[in-house]
Structure 1
Amino acid sequence: MTPYLAEFFGTMLLILLGEGSVAGALLKNSKAENDGWLAIVVAWGLAVTISIYAVGSISGAHLNPAITLALCVSGDFPVDQVPGYILAQLAGAFAGAILVWLHYMPHWSKTDNASLKLAIFCTAPAIRSVPANLFSEMLATLVLVMAILFIGANKFADGLNPLIIGGLITSIGLSLGGTTGFAINPARDLAPRLAHAILPIPGKGSSDWSYSWIPVAGPIIGGIIGAWLFKVLFG
């Protein structure tokens, strides 16, 4: 498996397991209906853990354009591989969203709330405010990147790093995710949002494209700042 294919597969698995938990909690007549925020956040942390175990030894398991760009800017990832990684991540996220749609096929028509259907695919702010929402995504991703670099600077038992990073995702979700839903990953938000726009989901409503730039720009800016701060303070 090439690194690009690994990024595709790992991101697809991430979205399938992560957004699958959201679908289970929000769609009508699911056995997991009303599981709540804690279950969703923990599921995302576990999704990251499993995805890193799956492809980490092949591609490094970036699974996130913000991580790829941050590592490139900091000089830790070759620039010529950036476009391929990002395209693979976007394609994987799109494929993962389609799998979630297929898996929950009977439940879409049973769910009347269009905003709940959109929330399965992408994020939305609890209170809509461009400066505050952008800052939230920047700060959460800054913490993500710096913490990943902190983890990489320490020695753990073989195979433990994915568990630590999964715990990190859970921590970010519980502490900083309540404002915007903590996209912290442009591929995780943009590609599934596109899937929502294209797929024949009954009563789905708008894909909220006016907000879509925030979970793309915020993580990219925050990730780059986080990598730069790590280099300045600890490099």
Structure 2
Amino acid sequence: MENINLYLGELVGTAFFMVLGLGVCANISLKKSGMFGSGGIVAACGWGLSMVSIAVIFGPLTGAHVNPAVTIGFWAVGRFPTELVLGYIIAQFIGAFIGGLIIWQLFKDHLDEESDQNSQLGSFATIASNSNPWRNLLSEIMATFSLLFILFALGHQQPANGVAMFFVFAGVAGGVMSFGGLTGYAINPARDFMPRLVHAIVPIKNKGSSHFDYAWVPVCGPIIGAVLAALLYRGLF
């Protein structure tokens, strides 16, 4: 119980992150939204700014992992205690589910009036642009690897806070621009799986499949990428 504030911080931070980030996805995907069709640049900047906001708010308390891949990566690189790993990951998955529920309620009318089933699902979870699971897995591995390498470097060099936040933004936004067109840039098992579960269980008019047959890619890819980044970073530095 002594770590309850850390776990609650990760839970609330992840839920908050999902509301901000998935809100961007819903806004650009759903036809009834006033921001419909805003495109990839808005998605990249929206997710990047969302991550910076969460880092500023929750970073001093928990480190603002809000992502099981980040937690596993920092554990693998030797910068996070083993006894906190499971609690952080559970909190992140619960927070992502709560965030998905909030998005469903916020955009319920838009979702019910949306005729495109991919746009409905895309407001919650990632959708790959091609059907090759191994290329999609490689994309998620590389995307997460790149982000974690940046985060490891920031933790090692400890630049001024403003500089660090710029590179957090650049790492996320740049990743969306580089990999988003392939797989939607999940880089976060909780971010994809739990909102996908929300899509599956809540009532949405005319919704299609939640495509859990694809869900293993945005779960496994980020974890593999995080561990590989940790191994290489430890080997180099």
Check if 1:194 corresponds to 2:208: no
Match of 1:127 in 2: 130
Match of 1:14 in 2: 17
Query: 1:107 is matched with which residue: 104, 107, 110?
Result: 110
Match of 2:45 in 1: 42
The alignment partner of 1:31 has SS state of: coil
Q: C-alpha displacement at 1:163, in angstroms?
A: 3.4
Extract unaligned runs of 5+ from structure 1. none
Check if 1:221 corresponds to 2:224: yes
Distance 1:109 1:158, change over 3 A: closer
Residue by residue over 1:39-91, the C-alpha shift from the partner in whole angstroms, topping out at 9 and shown as x without a partner, is: 11110001111111111000111111011111112221111111110010011
Residue by residue over 1:13-44, the C-alpha shift from the partner in whole angstroms, topping out at 9 and shown as x without a partner, is: 11101110111111122111111111111100
Query: 1:210 is matched with which residue: 200, 209, 213?
Result: 213
Residue by residue over 1:168-200, the C-alpha shift from the partner in whole angstroms, topping out at 9 and shown as x without a partner, is: 100111112221011000010011011111111
Find the aligned partners of 1:9 and 1:164 in 2 and give their Cα distance.
23
Relative to its length, the structure with more helix (as a share) is 2
Which one-letter code corresponds to 2:154 in the other structure?
Answer: I
Find the aligned partners of 1:209 and 1:13 in 2 and give their Cα distance.
24
The alignment partner of 1:179 has SS state of: helix
Segments ≥4 residues shifted beyond 3 Å: none
Normalization by structure 2: what TM-score? 0.95
Find the aligned partners of 2:221 and 2:90 in 1 and give their Cα distance.
19
Find the aligned partners of 1:183 and 1:120 in 2 and give their Cα distance.
13
Residue by residue over 1:90-114, the C-alpha shift from the partner in whole angstroms, topping out at 9 and shown as x without a partner, is: 1111111111111112211211111
- Percent of counterpart pairs with the same letter? 38
Residues matched between the structures, number:
234
